[in-house]
Each structure stands twice: as C-alpha cells, then as structure tokens.
Structure 1
Amino acid sequence: MIDFIVGVIALAYFLLISAATKQHFVSGKYAAGMYVISVLSLIGIFTFLIHAFVTGLNLPVVALALILAAFLLFGWSIKHSRQTRLALAFDPDSKTSGIITNGPWKYTRHPFYLSYCAFWFACALGTAHISSIAVFSTLLLVYCYSAIKEETELQKGSFGDEYKNYQKKVGFIWPKLLVKN
C-alpha cells in the first residue's frame, strides 16, 4: 500500500513540474536542453511508477520523505518567484528582471533545481534500478550545467555585482551550512 501512495505522490509532483514549464516559467522557445530533460524525465518517472505500482519500491518511506520535501520546496519556490518572470532552463533569450533573494533563495541560489534533484534522487533510491540511477546522475549534471550557464549570464548583466555578493553568501544548489560574513 505504501508503494502505491508513494507512486501517486510522485506522479502528482511530476505532473506539477510538467505544468509549471508551461504556466510558471516564461520562454519563447523550448531549447534543446529542455528536450533532453523531458526525455530523461519520462524515462525516470516511467521506471519509478513501474516499481511503485508493479514490482515494489526499495526504501519507500525514505523515497516518500524526499518526494514530499521536493514538493514543498517546489511550492515554496513558486510562491516566491511569482512576480519574477523566470525562464526555462537553457533559454537563449532569457532576460533577468532582478534577483530573487527571499524565500528558498535565501538558502540556495537554485531551489527549483534542488527540488528536482531531491525528486530524482528519491526515484533512484526507491527503485535502485540502473535507469533511475542514470536518470538522476545525468539530470544532476544537466541541472548543474544549466545553473552555471544562468549564473554566468547574471554575472555579466546589470545585476552582476549584486549577484556576485549574493553568491558569496548563499549555496549554489545545496545550501551553505556555515556562512562567513
């Protein structure tokens, strides 16, 4: 029964982030990197759901806790970024209207990526299947690459100095545990 519940919650999270690509993020073009993310995500969720609904999950309580944490972080990130027009990953025409430093951005510069990574890590742990592990590992690299590209653009833009100061205080994807002022 717990596997079924974890599967339903994982599917709900997946549908939420899928809907957000169209409703919350603003991009004129669906870049090639987003197609890579989409294909890997479909492989990952399919593998996870087969395990959740058919063959069984490993560590379902741990997977559930991580998925719920990802869900909460995603919702918190949406709440604090509604007023800012965020672009999809790899958008070549992305324009920055400011830097978000409140809510989850107070702790991590990329809370959406942290949310996604927590979810895919939960899927990898929950299935212990090579495809889930490969999806998690590849998406982790893709998200880090995208975040580095985004930060490079922010450093060059009109908010460059402000962003560089922000980088010193706040963790890249994982929050900094000790901050020196």
Structure 2
Amino acid sequence: MDDAKGAGVRIPPPVVFIFFMFCGLGLGFSYPIAIHFPVALAYTGVALSIFGLMVLLHLATLFKRVKTNIEPWKPTSRIISTGIYAYSRNPIYLAFCTIPLGGGLFFSHIWLMLSVIPACISVYYLAIRPEEAYLTEKFGDEYLAYRSRVRRWL
C-alpha cells in the first residue's frame, strides 16, 4: 500500500466548515431571519464554541503525543481508540460543528447554525469516506473491529 498521501483527502475539513460558515453568514445578509435567543442561550453558545475549541486543542495534543498525523492527507501510524475516540470515530469533526452552532446561538444567527448541515454532509464525502477506506485498507481487522464498536458521530 502506498501510504505517502494518507487517506488522500484533498480539501482540509476545517476549510469545508469555514466555507459553509461564510455561506451561512452570506445567507443571513441576503435573507435575514429576525430571531433573538435569550441571553442565557446566547452564553450557552459561547460555552459550546469554547468547549469545541478546547476539544480540538486536546485532540491535537493527543495526536502529537501518540506520534501520528492529525491531517487526513498524511499517513496514519496508528488507530486511536481511547478517550473521546472510544465514543466517536470523528470527534474532531464534531468539535468543528460546535463553532458555528455556538456562534449561531450567540449571535442569534439561524443560517450560521444551519451551515453545519451541508458542512457535515460535505465532510462525510470529502474526508470521512476516504479516511474510512484508507484505514480499512491499512489496518484491516483492527479498524473494522473499532468501527463496529464505535459510532461515526455520537
């Protein structure tokens, strides 16, 4: 197996989320939805975004500690199946979801919150499917066993 390109993901998943966040912001200007969330919900949004950023930082540190690449276009040296990865095969992508969701709650911006839907669908086709095929080919039964134990998202 030629492992030099990892899963062969061509568009970095953070770029996909950022693109759809900008699309959501643009829709907000073109088709504004006048809704205002209660202050408590707005601050819950801030907490959600901060939590997601903390999870991303934790996972980046974890990948560095176990000496495998976090970038899906680089080779993977091992399957991480402990901690958050015991509950979700894609906690990084879940953490990316918290940023537009939290921002949408804070700014009462429905379109920003809704941007998560096309972002998740796109990331599934652009990153998750190639990653799963790559990991299955590289790790075989080890990855298949992990995949049968742990859900993709939650």
Would you say same fold, with TM above 0.5? yes
Asked if residue 169 in structure 1 is aligned to residue 149 in structure 2, the reply is: yes
Partners of 1:47 and 1:123 in 2: how far apart?
Answer: 15
Superposition pairs for residues 1-181 of structure 1, below 5 Å? 31-32=10-11, 36-43=16-23, 58=37, 59-82=41-64, 83-88=67-72, 91=73, 94-129=74-109, 131-145=111-125, 146-157=127-138, 159-174=139-154
TM-score normalized with structure 1 length: 0.60
- Aligned AA for 1:31? R
Q: Confirm or deny: 8 A CA contact 1:44 1:123 kept in the other structure.
A: no
Partners of 1:97 and 1:126 in 2: how far apart?
Answer: 39
Structure 1 residue 106, shift from structure 2 partner: 2.2
Structure 1 residue 149, shift from structure 2 partner: 2.3
Which consecutive residues of structure 2, in runs of 5 or more, have no partner in the other structure? Answer: none
- Aligned AA for 1:102? T
Identity of aligned residues (%): 22
Structure 1 residue 81, shift from structure 2 partner: 0.7
Which consecutive residues of structure 1, in runs of 5 or more, have no partner in the other structure? Answer: 1-25, 175-181
- Give 3-state SS (helix, strand or coil) of 1:97's partner: coil
Q: Residues 76 and 36 from structure 1, CA distance in 2 versus in 1: closer, same or farther, beyond 3 angstroms?
A: closer
Q: Confirm or deny: 8 A CA contact 1:63 1:126 kept in the other structure.
A: yes
Partners of 2:122 and 2:130 in 1: how far apart?
Answer: 11
Q: Which has the higher contact order (CA 8 A, sep 6+)?
A: 2
In angstroms, what is the RMSD of aligned CA positions?
Answer: 3.4
Partners of 1:169 and 1:86 in 2: how far apart?
Answer: 22
- Give 3-state SS (helix, strand or coil) of 1:173's partner: coil
Give 1:22's aligned residue: none
Structure 1 residue 31, shift from structure 2 partner: 2.6
Structure 1 residue 122, shift from structure 2 partner: 2.1
- Give 3-state SS (helix, strand or coil) of 1:141's partner: helix
